[in-house]
Amino acid sequence: MQARPLARASSLLAAILVAALAACAHPPPPPPPVSAPPLPADPEVKLESMQVECDAMLGALSTFKACPNHDEDDREAVDAWIERANQDFAASRKANPEPNAQKAIAAACHKAAGSVQAATERCLAGPRPKSD
């Protein structure tokens, strides 16, 4: 009769061992993510000369200044930007930078002109919200 309690104890021990092993088992790791194809490079921007690109930026600033939704403080700030840009461009023309530097300046003016054009579109959409 003692074999029966011993059999029950060993069955119980085996069940506990199986449950413990099952609890410790980890699911298989997920497969590695599939990488997306690389993004294409931005197309090469056709730049004009430093003078042409920077004059375009000044024109964009003048258009931005003319936005009817600006208040007087905005117009004064844009006037200061235009004045500073004119001084900087005059200095760069006088210094006659090397061709790579002229290309970098032209690229910066081109990028700034695009930003100012976007700001002009935003301004023409309506006045800024009033802040308390």
- Parse the chain into domains and list their residue ranges: 50-124
Cβ-contact 75, 123 below 8 angstroms: no
Average pLDDT over every residue of 2-10: 66
**Rounded Cα–Cα distance for residues 15 and 31 (Å):** 32
For residue 50, what are the contacts with CB-CB under 8 A and spacing of at least 6?
Answer: 92, 97, 102, 103, 105, 106, 109
Copy the structure tokens of residue 78: 């844009």
For range 108-122, the mean pLDDT: 96
For tokens 């309690």, name the residue.
5
Greater model confidence, 7 or 53: 53
pLDDT at 2 over 60: no
- Rounded distance between C-alpha atoms, residue 1 and residue 23, angstroms: 34
Rounded to an integer, the average pLDDT of 75-85 is 94
**What proportion of the chain, given as a percentage, has pLDDT over 70?**
94
Contact between 113 and 54 under an 8 Å Cβ cutoff? The reply is: no
